[in-house]
Amino acid sequence: MKKRIMVAMLSAVMVMSMALTACGSKEESPNEDTKSGAAEDSVDKGGGHKYGFTCMTMNNPFFTTIEGSIRKEVEANGDELITLDTKQDIATQIQQIEDMINQGIEVLFLCPVDSEGIAPALDMLKDADIPVVNFDTDVTDKDKVDTILVSNNEYAGQVVGEAMTERYPDGGKIAILDAPYAAACVQRVEGFMKGLGDAKDKFEIVSQQNGKGDTAESLPIAENIIQANSDLVGFFCINDPSALGAYSAVESAGLTDQVAVFGCDGSPDAKKSIEEGGMAGTGAQSPINIGKQCVEAANKIMAGEKVDKEIKVDTFLITKENVKDYGTDGWQ
C-alpha cells in the first residue's frame, strides 16, 4: 500500500523543540512505561494491519479514553496499535511519528501538539504514502491529512456561552482561560463568544490568559484574576482540567456562590464536580465515539473507499440538571 522512505528530519525536529503545550494536562504520564501499545513493547501479531496513535498527551483522560476506544476496535480485528506519549512536546511528536513510519504503520491517528508545528511530520507521512486520520484538533495544513474527525468544538463553546447568559442575564465580569496554539481550543472560545449573543455587550472580559489546559497551571492564574477582580462572575475554560483549577481558586476565595466556572470536555471529574454543586457546567463531547469513528474512517481509507474530509461529532451541555443522565464514573 505504501512506499518506505527514510526521511532525514533531525534538523527540522531540533528547530521545533520549543516548549509547546496543548489542551490536555502537561504532567508526565505515570503509565507511559506500562502502556501496552508502546513501540518498544509492541508485538507484531502477523497478518494484521498496523496503526499508529499520537496525541497531545497521554496524561489527559480524554485522550486515554480515545486511545482505548481505538485500541478496542483495532485489536478486535486482530490488528496492532502503536501508541507513544509526546508529553506535549512537538519535537518529540515529530520524532515519534518518524519512528512509527519506520516500524511500518499503515495509518496514523493524529492529534497534533501544535496545529502548525506538526507540518514536518505531515510531509514525512505524505512521502511514505501513509494516510492520516486527524482527530480532536485540526492541523493547519488540512490538505495533508485524509480526514479530520473532531468534536463540534465551536458548538461546545457556544452552549456554554448561552448558559452563561442565562445564568447572568444582566452580564458581568468574566475571564477566559484558553490555549491559543490548539485549533480546537480556539474554536471553543469563538463558540463561547458566539453563545453570548446579544448579551455580549453586557459582559466584560477582564482577562484572557493561556491556562495551558492544565489544572496546576490554571489554578494560580485564576487566583490572580480573582484577586484583581473581586466582582468577577464567571470563568470560561477551554477544557475541564483547566476549569477544575479555576474552580479550586474560586472555592479557596470563598466565592462559589458568586462565580460560575464552566469547562469543556464532559470528563468524569468535571461531571462529579457539577453533581456536587461545584462547576456550573461543561460543553461535553464523547471520546468513545470519536475513537470508534476514527477506526471506521481508517478502515474505509484502507479499503479505497471515500471518506468525508471533515467529520463532526456532536457536542452538548452538561449541567447539574442533566448530569445524572451521563453518569460520573466514566466518559460518554
**pLDDT value of residue 106:** 98
Statement to judge: residues 101 and 192 lie in one domain: no
pLDDT over 90, % of the chain: 79
For residue 102, the domain's CATH number is 3.40.50.2300
Cα(298)–Cα(48) distance, integer angstroms: 14
**Is 240 part of any domain?**
yes
* 3-state SS class at 131: coil
Q: What is the CA radius of gyration of the chain?
A: 20
Q: What pLDDT digit, counting tens, does each position of 46-103 carry?
A: 448 999 999 998 988 889 999 999 999 999 999 999 999 999 899 999 999 999 999 9
| Number of independent structural domains in the chain | 2
- Grid coordinates 477566559 are at which residue? 176
**Boundaries of domain holding 50:** 10-150+287-312
Q: Find the length of the chain.
A: 332
Statement to judge: residues 215 and 278 lie in one domain: yes
Q: What value, to the nearest 5°, has the Cα angle with vertex 116 and ends 115 and 118?
A: 80
**Is 276 part of any domain?**
yes
Statement to judge: residues 17 and 82 lie in one domain: yes
**Is 331 part of any domain?**
no
Q: What pLDDT digit, counting tens, does each position of 142-170 carry?
A: 999 999 998 999 999 999 999 999 999 99
**pLDDT value of residue 182:** 83
**pLDDT value of residue 23:** 53
Statement to judge: residues 255 and 305 lie in one domain: no
Q: What pLDDT digit, counting tens, does each position of 55-71 carry?
A: 998 988 889 999 999 99
CB 194 within 8 A of CB 158: yes
Cα(313)–Cα(286) distance, integer angstroms: 8
**pLDDT value of residue 16:** 34
Statement to judge: residues 145 and 25 lie in one domain: yes
Query: Please, what is the average pLDDT of the chain?
Result: 87
Statement to judge: residues 264 and 291 lie in one domain: no
